Chain A
Amino acid sequence: MTYVTSSHSGRLDVLDRERPASYAPPTSFRPPAFVENSPRRRRRLGPGPAIPFGLQIGPLALVLIWTAGSAFGLLDPRILPAPWAIVGTFGDLIADGRLQSNFLTSSVRALLGLGFGIVIGLLLAVISGLSRVGEAFIDGPIQIKRAVPTLAMIPLLMLWLGIGETMKVTIITLGVVVPIYMHTHNALRAIDERYVELAETLRMSQRDFLLQVVLPGAVPGFLLGLRFAVTLCWVSLVVVEQINATSGLGYMIELARTYGQTQIIIVGLVVYAVLGLASDGVVRLLERRLLSWRRTLAH
């Protein structure tokens, strides 16, 4: 406040000096410096306060544009059917049970893959994170596995495991293991040296050190890995189901493509989107539970 006014008057001084002595400024000319520069009027830097329901505005706008486009006949229904047509198809698919049964098949595959992947990834990360010998044996192969895209391994896995459920779940598991391992291992190794020192001065046992310091400290890393893993399990699902399947959401979409049923494709995509967002939401809920020690009083 003071700063603004003084800089203002400073500039006026300069002007005054340059003016001819005979010039008398009209009294009304004086700028109302205090009112103009009142801090209430100044815009804060930065993007400003959050808009309520800010995240929902974009998707809603897209749906509105889509609806308007269909209503005015601007969108060819073969390219993109109207929203109400999609809703109709959605109802039909539920009525004849196709959506539910495909959804169930897909979910079982994804969750099995996710479950196995979490257990295996976590186990490997703990072994490799807590012992140098374990790291020597495990870390290299995982890094190599990471360099090979899981999807590129499909042909090999088909030869080994056939085209049944085992192959599908294995592909998803292999995808999930990597982010779980990477982030958990990283977090285990990144334990703050200061806490190690503390544990030493407190003469903590190896067991207490692991249970109180190392493992809880790695939980944030694990949860980050889990968020990647959850998204990845649905992504892998799409691929395995579109290559060689006779059931599942991916199969339903693939079949619809063959018959040119755009509405069914879109219903499938919407279900994928909802699944992806919902599972991310579940992990974030878990994060809030497990990481409550991170929240400050303000939350």
Chain B
Amino acid sequence: MAPHARSLKAVEVRRLTRRFGDVTILDDLDLDIAQGEFVALLGKSGSGKSTFLRALAGLDYEVDGTGSLRTPEKLSVVFQDARLLPWRSVIQNVTLGLGGAGREPGRKALEEVGLAGRETAWPIQLSGGEQQRVALARSLVREPALLLADEPFGALDALTRLKMHDLLRELCARHRPAVLLVTHDVDEAISLADRILVLDQGRLVEDLKVDIKGRRSHGDPRFGAIRSQLLSRLGVDVDDRSAA
């Protein structure tokens, strides 16, 4: 990516703190995300990753907190469940709240995620992977400057997940939103992200650039090195996991 584009920020977080009662979930966080940058956020369960994402999405109404957050106006969220309205057709789900003007872009977005011709289907008629693609189309059609994804592939089977990785990579290359992908899957983070953060007890304990050009394969030694580093950061003893 060109250096001048890097300097433009999509997200600016300063001294962000969030508490539930006496428990501090996010502890004095600072973070910048550049425009078009793909950031993966790793962390154990309870590390505060979802709280962080919800704070960025503006979904944390009843949470105590301080700090400043700057996010783009055009922001989309992809949830772990596809979260489609079961009583609206696929195309209506994609263009939800956009009115008639969204219809043509909606059709195009569905085509991009490989679901052309399924416009009038009901969500229940789609597989889990297809439903998640509709959710992606719903986000894309809004041309977001920031895409927040909360373990979007966590509920999918391993094969579908790999296909979805390819799709997401392709879509991001074309639309270039900044992405914050929350995941617990280290391999997913390495194969998709430009930069990987590790959150532990409400603090960012790792901020790592992934400089592997082209196709990232698990056999690549650099892949393995990043993987070991991240796993040890996450408190997993790498030696026990005899290099899968």
Residues of A within 8 A of B (CB): 194-195, 197-205, 208, 212-213, 216-217, 219, 292-297
Contact = CB atoms under 8 A, between A and B. Distances in A.
B97 A202 contact: yes
10 closest A-B pairs by CB: A204-B97, A201-B77, A216-B87, A293-B122, A208-B97, A293-B87, A198-B83, A202-B97, A293-B86, A297-B125
Contact of A202 (B87, B96, B123, B125): B96
A204 B97 CA distance: 5
Nearest to A215: B87
Given A194-B81, A197-B79, A296-B125, 14 more contacts: A194-B83, A198-B79, A199-B97, A200-B58, A200-B59, A201-B58, A202-B96, A202-B97, A208-B97, A216-B85, A217-B87, A219-B87, A293-B122, A295-B122
18 contacts: A194-B79, A198-B79, A198-B85, A199-B97, A201-B57, A201-B58, A201-B76, A204-B97, A208-B96, A208-B97, A212-B88, A292-B122, A293-B86, A293-B87, A293-B88, A293-B122, A295-B122, A296-B124
Q: Chain B: interface residue count, which band?
A: 20 to 34
Nearest to A201: B77
A187 to B, nearest CB: 12
A109 B214 CA distance: 76
A195 B83 contact: yes
B97 A205 contact: yes
Contacts of A208: 96-97
Given A205-B97, A212-B96, A212-B97, A294 B83 contact: no
Contacts of A205: 97
Contacts, number: 56
Interface string B90-119: 001000110000000000000000000000
Contacts of A293: 86-88, 122-124
Interface in B162-190: none
A294 B124 contact: yes
Nearest to A196: B59
Contacts of A201: 57-59, 75-77
B98 to A, nearest CB: 9
A197 B60 CA distance: 10
A216 B88 contact: yes
Contacts of A197: 59, 79, 83
Nearest to B59: A197
Nearest to A219: B87
Contacts of A297: 125
Contacts of A217: 85, 87
Contact of A294 (B76, B86, B92): B86
A173 to B, nearest CB: 29
B79 A212 contact: no
A203 B97 contact: yes
A213 B59 contact: no
B180 to A, nearest CB: 14
A197 B125 CA distance: 23
A106 to B, nearest CB: 36
Contacts of B81: 194
A203 B71 CA distance: 15
Nearest to A297: B125
A81 to B, nearest CB: 51
A157 to B, nearest CB: 39
Nearest to A194: B83
B231 to A, nearest CB: 32
Contact of A212 (B58, B59, B75, B85): B85
Contacts of A216: 85, 87-88
Nearest to B96: A202
Contacts of A202: 96-97, 138, 142
Most buried by A among B59, B75, B87, B122: B87
Contacts of B87: 216-217, 219, 293
Contacts of B97: 199, 202-205, 208, 212
Given A296-B125, A297-B125, A204 B85 contact: no
Contacts of A295: 122, 124
Contacts of B142: 202
A296 B125 CA distance: 6
